[in-house]
Structure 1
Amino acid sequence: MACAALAAAIGCLPGSAAVARFAVLWPVRIARHGRRVWTAGPTVLGGCAGLLVAGPGGALAGALVTFTIRRRRARHRASSSAAAASAQLADAVSRITEELRAGSHPATALGGVRADGPLAREILVPAAAAARLGDGVASALRRGAAGRPEIAADVERIAAAWSLAERHGIPLAELLTRAHDDIRWRARFGATVRAQLAGPRATASVLTALPLLGIALGQLVGADPIAVLRSGVLGQVMLVIGVALAAAGVAWSEQILRSAVP
């Protein structure tokens, strides 16, 4: 417990001023390194807790459980972020289309990104800068979505519409209207599917928790399965295999449910 508390304290220490200064020079590299440390820290703590409770097999099981929970939460956050980005991007495209129909120049319409949501603003700011400088807007849009693969398809539709308008003289407002309708429909359809999958997600969670219920029932009837899992090589192997199968079941069910959402 002392080692676990010390590891948690080290993980919560603030960064030094030197690291902050270097982060200005290499922001992407420092951010990725910090993300890896933040991901590995709870897994190590889970392994330490499992080691204290159930020995070496418990360490592997604890690390696997922590990793599975964090991965599942990260996927849910990514899905929510993608849905929010699609909604904000659709609102931004609607605003740009309305300004174009009112007679605004495309560069002026793109320059109003301050009124958009933060996720859409992050994607459209490079395009607004490119429009002011007379650079290619479509390529700037693709650059803005380079780090967001979950929103790349929607941005590609907008970039393709912008390229068609610049190359063939097609009214940009009409093309952006079609892109807006498509993005909005996909966002609404995805939200509907996610709402309908709430029941299957709950069922998968209950099935995942059933082994814990079986262990609790075994303790109540006096079989003492916890002592069996904690002692002996066979018990340790059974613990690791059981947790690994449960984690595989969670990953499989998440993949099935995630593939149903556009």
Structure 2
Amino acid sequence: MAILLNRRAPLVAVLLGGGTGAVLGGPVGAVGLAAYAALGARAVRRRHARQLADRARRGELDQLCSLAADLRAGLPVTLALADGPDRIARLARAAVRLADRTGAPLADLLERVEADARASDRGLAAASAQAAGARATAWLLAALPLGGIGLGYAIGVDPVGVLLRTTVGGGSALAAVALQIGGLLWAERLGATPGRAT
């Protein structure tokens, strides 16, 4: 799994997929499997990046909550969180400036920033859950050609042989791969959770 997460993962996936496809199905198989391997590697990397970002965001919110608790307890604290470029850090810096200028209790301001961010996260999670159906439908539609291949074998035809070893079949297979990948990327964009990378 570690190899799929480094910077060379798409290249490695393309080479492995292309090599395997070339051995199993010639040039059409090489292009098809290379494209699917690159799509899979991209999906794994993006999912890992989302998980890391979500974990970092939860850590920031927990740190903000503990800072507010320490302030309420009268403990000396440093606002190290305010160094980051993201929205939470900007709001924390704004809270510090507001507390300095007006004398407003910083603990209350930080708690409000944290509560707002957690409410925003709940809204984004709800939006992501609503989009899950559309993503599942897109994957189901992308998998339908496998059913067509199975149906071809069920009626006594060799659809894979036609797709990989004839000019018309090869062109159709490559067009299908391009349309499937384009459709999946389009569905991913349509189903993206607002305010969060997909």
- The CA distance in 2 between the partners of 1:222 and 1:46, in whole Å, is 28
Preserved contact between residue 47 and residue 59 of structure 1 (Cα < 8 Å): yes
- Match for residue 47 of structure 1 among 3, 18, 25: 18
Matched, 1:63 2:49: no
- Give secondary structure in 2 for the equivalent of 1:236: helix
- Please report the TM-score for the alignment, with normalisation by the length of structure 2: 0.84
- Give secondary structure in 2 for the equivalent of 1:197: helix
Per-residue displacement from partner, 1:101-140 (whole Å, max 9, x unpaired)? 1112232xx5xxxxxxxxxxxxxxxx27xxxxxxxxx4xx
TM-aligned CA deviation for residue 169 of structure 1: 4.6
The 5 Å alignment of 1:134-213 reads 138=82, 141-142=83-84, 145=85, 152-166=86-100, 169-213=103-147
Larger mean Cα displacement after TM superposition, 181-190 or 245-254: 181-190
- Give secondary structure in 2 for the equivalent of 1:206: helix
- Give secondary structure in 2 for the equivalent of 1:238: helix
Preserved contact between residue 193 and residue 261 of structure 1 (Cα < 8 Å): no
Preserved contact between residue 131 and residue 191 of structure 2 (Cα < 8 Å): yes
Q: Which residue of 2 aligns with 1:19?
A: none
TM-aligned CA deviation for residue 167 of structure 1: 5.3
Q: Which runs of 5+ in 1 are unaligned?
A: 1-11, 13-33, 111-126, 129-137, 146-151
- Please report the TM-score for the alignment, with normalisation by the length of structure 1: 0.65
Q: Which residue of 2 aligns with 1:237?
A: 171
TM-aligned CA deviation for residue 168 of structure 1: 5.2
Partner AA of 1:54 in structure 2: G
Distance 1:219 1:196, change over 3 A: same
Q: Which residue of 2 aligns with 1:76?
A: 47
- Match for residue 224 of structure 1 among 158, 169, 188: 158
Preserved contact between residue 91 and residue 113 of structure 2 (Cα < 8 Å): yes
Partner AA of 1:244 in structure 2: A
For these two proteins, the number of residue pairs brought into alignment is 193
TM-aligned CA deviation for residue 252 of structure 1: 0.8
Matched, 1:94 2:65: yes
Q: Which residue of 2 aligns with 1:246?
A: 180
Partner AA of 1:191 in structure 2: A
Partner AA of 2:65 in structure 1: S
- The CA distance in 1 between the partners of 2:55 and 2:124, in whole Å, is 11
Q: Which residue of 2 aligns with 1:5?
A: none
Preserved contact between residue 21 and residue 32 of structure 2 (Cα < 8 Å): yes
Preserved contact between residue 21 and residue 34 of structure 2 (Cα < 8 Å): yes
- The CA distance in 2 between the partners of 1:99 and 1:216, in whole Å, is 63
Q: Which runs of 5+ in 2 are unaligned?
A: none
- Give secondary structure in 1 for the equivalent of 2:6: helix
- The CA distance in 2 between the partners of 1:260 and 1:208, in whole Å, is 24
Distance 1:255 1:188, change over 3 A: same
Larger mean Cα displacement after TM superposition, 195-204 or 215-224: 195-204
Matched, 1:215 2:146: no
Distance 1:57 1:163, change over 3 A: farther
- The CA distance in 2 between the partners of 1:180 and 1:157, in whole Å, is 9
